[in-house]
Amino acid sequence: MVIQTETDMDWNARLQALESASRDLEPAANERKTISDQACAYAEAFLESLPACKTYVQDQGSSEGLDGRIAETPTRLKDLLAELGSSVDGPGINPASGGHLGYIPGGGLYPSAVGGFLAGISNRYSGVHFASPGAVRMEKALVRWMAELVGLPETAGGDLTSGGSTANLSAIVTARDACKLHCADIPQSCVYMTRQVHHCVHKALRIAGLGECQLRFVPMDRRFRMDDSVLEDMIQADQDRGLRPWMVVASAGTTDTGAVDPLLKIAAICAAKGLWLHVDAAYGGFFLLCEEGRRALAGLDKADSIVMDPHKGLFLPYGTGAVLVRDERLLAQAHHYQADYMQDARLGDSGFSPADLSAELSRPFRGLGLWLPLKLFGLAPYRAALAEKIWLARYFHERLSGMAGFVTGPFPDLSVLTFAYRPKQGDVEEANRLLLQAVLRDGRVFISSTRVHGQFTLRAAILHFRTHRAEVDHLLEVLGRAARSLSA
C-alpha cells in the first residue's frame, strides 16, 4: 500500500472544499427562520383547515414526488411542503381530525409537537443519566407521576417506550425473567387472557420466546369482560395437572369493545395463586384522570406490570407509550447490560437510567413532548376531555338505541362502542358493510368495523381531544340517513 503524503497546501485545499460543501447542512439564522416560518405556515393552514376537512379520503394512487429518488441538489421547501400536503396529508385517515372514531384514535397536542421539535433541536440523549441528567430526571419524574396516578408503591419504575406494543413486550420479558421461566419450562407454562386481548400481546409472547406457552382463553361475560369465577378454576385445573400457570394478562379497555376486565377480582386470584398480573391499559389507562374512569379501572394498582399509552389517552402524537412495573428492579434485571465502552456512564446514585430499563439504547427524548403539554395546560383540561369522551360514548349509546333498526352492543365501560344495523330483510352483513361505506364516503367522520361472535359489527372509539358532540351527532346523522336509504 502506498501512503500518500500530502503537503500542508493539499490538506488546506481538500479540507476547505469539503467543509464548504458540508456546511450546507447548517443553514444560517435567516435561512432557519425561512424554514421554520414556512413550516409553521404549513402547520397553521393544516390546523385551521381541520374543522372543514374530511377524516377519511380515498387514496388516488402513487405520487411522483415520493418515488424515492434523492437528487444531489436541493429542492425548494415550498415544493416539498406542497408534496407533503397532497401526497401525505391528503389520502387515508386524518389522525389529527376530531372525526377520527376508528380503531383507537391518537392525538397530536400542539405543545407536544413543539416539545418534539425542541427535543430534536437539542437532541438531548435521555438514555443515560451521565449524558443528560436533566432529560433523565424529567423522564423519571414523568414515570413517577404515572406510577402515582395508578397508585403503585415507591418501588415502582417504568419506561417511556415507542408505543403500547413495545411496552407490552417490555412487560412480558420482565414477567418472564421475574418468574424465572427457563426454556424447558415453557411448554408447561400457562398464560391466561380473553380472546379480546390485543394482538400485540401474542406478538410479544412470541418475540419473547414464549410462543410455546399454553394459552388459556378465559370465557367472558356478556360485556366481554373476563369471567373471574372461571379463571380461578382454570388455574386450579392446570396446577392439578402439573402445569405451571404463571401469568394473567388482563385488559383495561380492550381495543375491540372497550371492556375492562374485573381487575380487583383477577388481582386477588393472582395473589392467591402466585401469578404475575400484567394489565394492558394502553387504551384505557389514562381514564384514571377522571372520576368516571377511576371507578371503571378499580384494581389497576394491584398489577405487577401495566402498559398505558400517552399517545392515546394523553392525546400525544404517535411515538410515546409507557410500561410501569411494580418493582423497578425486575424491569432492570430483564434489560440492564454493561459494556466497556459505556464505563463512564455506569450507575451512580441516580439509580437506573432509561437505557437500563429498556431494549433501546439511543432513543428520542420522548419526555419533553409529554412534559410540555402537561405542564403548560395543567391536568384540569385532560380530566375534562377524558370525562367528556366517556359521556359522549354514553350519549351515542343512548341515542343510537333509539334509532330504528339499530342494535347497540354493551353499555360502554369507557369510550369504545359496538353496534350494528338489523335490516328488515336481506343480508345483515351486507347491510352493515353498506352502512360503513356510506360513513366513509361522507368522510367527515371515520369509523371501523370488527367481528363480534363472528358477526360483522361496527364500532366507534371516542378518544380524540378534538372529538366533541358535533362529531358524534354527525355520525348519528350519517348512520340514520344511510339506514333510511337502505330500508327504502
Ligand X SMILES: *Cc1c(COP(=O)(O)O)cnc(C)c1O
Residue matched to cell numbers 411515538: 319
Contact range with ligand X by CB under 6 A, out of 63-71, 275-283, 396-404, 443-451: 275-283
Q: In terms of CB distance, is 200 or 447 closer to ligand X?
A: 200
Q: In terms of CB distance, is 198 or 326 closer to ligand X?
A: 198
Per CB under 6 A, 164 contacts ligand X: yes
Q: What is the per-residue DSSP string for 203-247?
A: HHHHHTT-TTSEEEE--B-TTS-B-HHHHHHHHHHHHHTT-EEEE
Q: Total residues at the site for ligand X (CB under 6 A)?
A: 13
Q: In terms of CB distance, is 296 or 476 closer to ligand X?
A: 296
Choose, by CB under 6 A, the member of 282, 314, 458, 486 that binds ligand X. Answer: 282
Task: Report helix angle 164-178 to 328-335, nearest 10.
Answer: 90
Contact range with ligand X by CB under 6 A, out of 93-101, 262-270, 278-286, 377-385: 278-286
Residues 364-383 that bind ligand X (CB under 6 A): none
CA distance 303 to 308: 13
- Smallest separation, CB 402 to ligand X (Å): 29
Residue 185 near residue 238 (C-beta atoms within 8 A) = no
Spell 103-126 as b/e; 16+ CB within 10 A means b: bbbbbbbebbbbbbeebeeeebbb
Q: In terms of CB distance, is 53 or 149 closer to ligand X?
A: 149
Residues 428-467 that bind ligand X (CB under 6 A): none
- Smallest separation, CB 282 to ligand X (Å): 4
Q: In terms of CB distance, is 200 or 231 closer to ligand X?
A: 200
Question: Within 13 A of 403's CA, how many CA atoms are on the CB side?
Answer: 25
Q: In terms of CB distance, is 363 or 474 closer to ligand X?
A: 363
CA 34 to chain centre: 34
Contact range with ligand X by CB under 6 A, out of 162-170, 267-275, 368-376, 382-390: 162-170
- Output the nine-digit C-alpha cell for 314: 394523553
Residue matched to cell numbers 378518544: 463
Which DSSP helix (H) or strand (E) runs through 451? strand 448-452
Choose, by CB under 6 A, the member of 238, 280, 301, 471 that binds ligand X. Answer: 280
Contact range with ligand X by CB under 6 A, out of 48-56, 59-67, 150-158, 280-288: 280-288
Q: In terms of CB distance, is 197 or 439 closer to ligand X?
A: 197
Residue 315 near residue 107 (C-beta atoms within 8 A) = yes
Q: In terms of CB distance, is 91 or 319 closer to ligand X?
A: 319
Q: Is 315 exposed, middle or buried (0-12, 13-18, 19+ CB in 10 A)?
A: buried
Q: In terms of CB distance, is 280 or 304 closer to ligand X?
A: 280
Positive or negative: CA dihedral 282, 287, 293, 299? positive
Residues 321-340 that bind ligand X (CB under 6 A): 321
**Residue 338 main-chain phi, psi, to 5 deg:** -120, 155
- Smallest separation, CB 314 to ligand X (Å): 12
CA distance 24 to 22: 5
Q: Which of 197, 220, 389, 378 is nearest to 293 (CA)?
A: 389
Name residue 103's amino acid.
Answer: Y
CA distance 331 to 353: 11
Contact range with ligand X by CB under 6 A, out of 16-24, 127-135, 279-287, 331-339: 279-287
- Output the nine-digit C-alpha cell for 249: 394478562
- Smallest separation, CB 164 to ligand X (Å): 2
Per CB under 6 A, 159 contacts ligand X: no
Q: Which of 338, 340, 284, 275 is nearest to 302 (CA)?
A: 275
Alpha-carbon torsion, ordered 203, 207, 210, 216, to 10 deg: 0
Reduce the DSSP state of residue 14 to 3 states and report it: helix
Contact range with ligand X by CB under 6 A, out of 83-91, 161-169, 208-216, 257-265: 161-169
- Smallest separation, CB 190 to ligand X (Å): 21
Q: What is the CA radius of gyration of the chain?
A: 26
Choose, by CB under 6 A, the member of 283, 421, 446, 465 that binds ligand X. Answer: 283
- Output the nine-digit C-alpha cell for 430: 351486507
Per CB under 6 A, 309 contacts ligand X: yes
The β-bridge partners of 214 are 190
Residues 199-258 that bind ligand X (CB under 6 A): 200, 251, 255
Contact range with ligand X by CB under 6 A, out of 41-49, 64-72, 277-285, 393-401: 277-285
- Smallest separation, CB 180 to ligand X (Å): 26
Per CB under 6 A, 125 contacts ligand X: no
Q: In terms of CB distance, is 390 or 478 closer to ligand X?
A: 390
- Smallest separation, CB 260 to ligand X (Å): 11
Site string for ligand X, 75-104 (x = CB under 6 A): -----------------------------x
- Smallest separation, CB 414 to ligand X (Å): 11
Choose, by CB under 6 A, the member of 124, 176, 198, 397 that binds ligand X. Answer: 198
Residue nearest ligand X, Cβ-based:
164
Q: How many helices (H) and strands (E) would you count in the chain? A: 16, 13
Write out the residues near ligand X by the rule CB under 6 A.
Answer: 104, 163-165, 198, 200, 251, 255, 280, 282-283, 309, 321
